[in-house]
A and B are shown apart, each in its own frame.
Chain A
Amino acid sequence: MDWSLLSWSDYTFRNVVLGTAWIGAVSGSLGCLALLRRQSLLGDVVSHATLPGVVLAFLIWNSREITVLMIGAAIAGMAATLFIFLLDSHTRIWRDGAMGTALALFFGVGVFLLSLTQNMPTAQKAGLSKFIFGQAAALVASDVLVLVWTGLPVLLVLAVFWKEFKSVTFDPGFAYNAGLPVRGLELLLTGLMVITIVMGLQAVGVILMSALLIAPAAAARQWTNRMGVMVPLAACLGALGSSVGAVVSTLGPNIPTGPVIVLCLSGVTVYSMLLGRQRGLVWRWFKSRQSHFLAQEEGVLDTMQSLWEQHGRTRHGHSLEVIQLARIGRGNARPALERLRAAGLVQEEGDGTWSLTQEGTATKTEESKAGQI
């Protein structure tokens, strides 16, 4: 491994880290809206759909400038989105069928156009496929500058129309009744998303774009119920995951940047789903285990109290088998007995049988409480 590359003074390294972090931040922010609006797969479709736009832009202006290619990409991406909306609202094709159709058709036509440029004598088409397959490791300062100047207006518009976007996202009916131009806002939001996706292509490429858009948002969603917290958090997670991925990929000669970024972001998402506040799977598992334990203990204690009643309320040891037969629940009763002993409610007699302690006879279970009522 070549650690010397990891130097902040290294020009390439700095551009790559800054560029990917910025892309991650913008994608993370807009990804929240995609996630909340259930347009998670838009990233996948739009990123594939940019190919014909990239090639046409190249053919028309005969330039491989990142700005030119991005404009072409954005136009094609927007066209694909509108195509999906048309199919969704004016035909009986399901939305996901419309998305798959748009993805395949736009990309395939792009491949067709790209192959035409290969036959051109002066074609410098080398940069074209690189553009859509990600080129994070090749980002230069001028690219980063273009990305910053593209992303800033996107974030600015998001901030200016924050309230409107929020109400269109969560309650379009309310937004309409409040007199907001719902269609226009949705179109604007879609436009922002398309621009973001076109930027994201630079970092991870077509195939992995949906993860760059959605993973930070899905991670942030696990920690908060407020959009005002979720968006900045997703931006930070996106920036962090992307730059860490970019750094890791510079450690070895053959580590591809995009996939490492995506794996970092997916790791953050899985971590958040497991440990996220309140909703985390680990906490959920703990809670369900606890209530399971509680139910078992209740069942065993209740059984032993009935046995105690039947034996004239005297201290009388019962074997594990008897307790297990008498109780309603299934499985081994021993762990529950051990826990009850730890709580001082039962005791083990010398001959291996179990009996209630004084405290155990006095403790009311849910069952006996219900009986009293």
Chain B
Amino acid sequence: MLPVLLKLTESDKRLLIAFLLVFILIFVIVGAIGYLIVRVMKWQGKRLDSCVSDVVYSRVITDKKTFSKYAHKKNWIIFYKAARIPVIIMLFSGIILVIRNLVYHDFSYDIFNKVNGFSTVLFLWNFDGMFILDPLTLSFTFNPPELVHSPEFVLAAWGSYVFVPGMAVGGLWYLWCAQSLISRTLRIKKLSESIFDKNLDKFNQNEQLMNSLNAGQAPLNSEAKPTEENKSLEK
């Protein structure tokens, strides 16, 4: 491998560095997106607090199991209320497609076809033969993709024009609701552990006992010298 690398020309080395930089950039972008998703999920989870705070403050619920059961019940109701609109959008889109198929008597309809499907309003390219890499000579050629189809409005494709955007919007909205559901579930788990936590990390029974016994007195192992006032009192 090393002799092969040594044989690389200057342009090949530059190309490899460029590929490496592109990979690093992709990882950085993915990391940033992941960080954003984590922050959004934390924000979504925090919204549960306002719904369950009253029962915790008023001590209606005093144990972990009851809290978890109550919070999960509430979580599902919140999800149901939030997911109604995207489900209605998706149902409406589905009904439109069914009506289209009934009107045209065509139940084998491909919604993404180029003739009367959603692809009629899209740019389509042919990506075959775009990158050609010869492993023996390490030669790399790049061919620009060929434009196959330009957007045009076809009236017969009205069903797909309603169905595809409707399903996309409704589906993404529904996934957002599902992500909120996961966030709240994680928050419930965290809260049920922290609210009713009985932590003994900083508790020392002996220290408490000694403090109560020596209240108002100097500790037994105190090395403090007696003051003049104390000496007079002792006499």
Report whether chain A binds chain B.
Answer: no
- Chain B: residues with CB nearer than 8 A to chain A? none
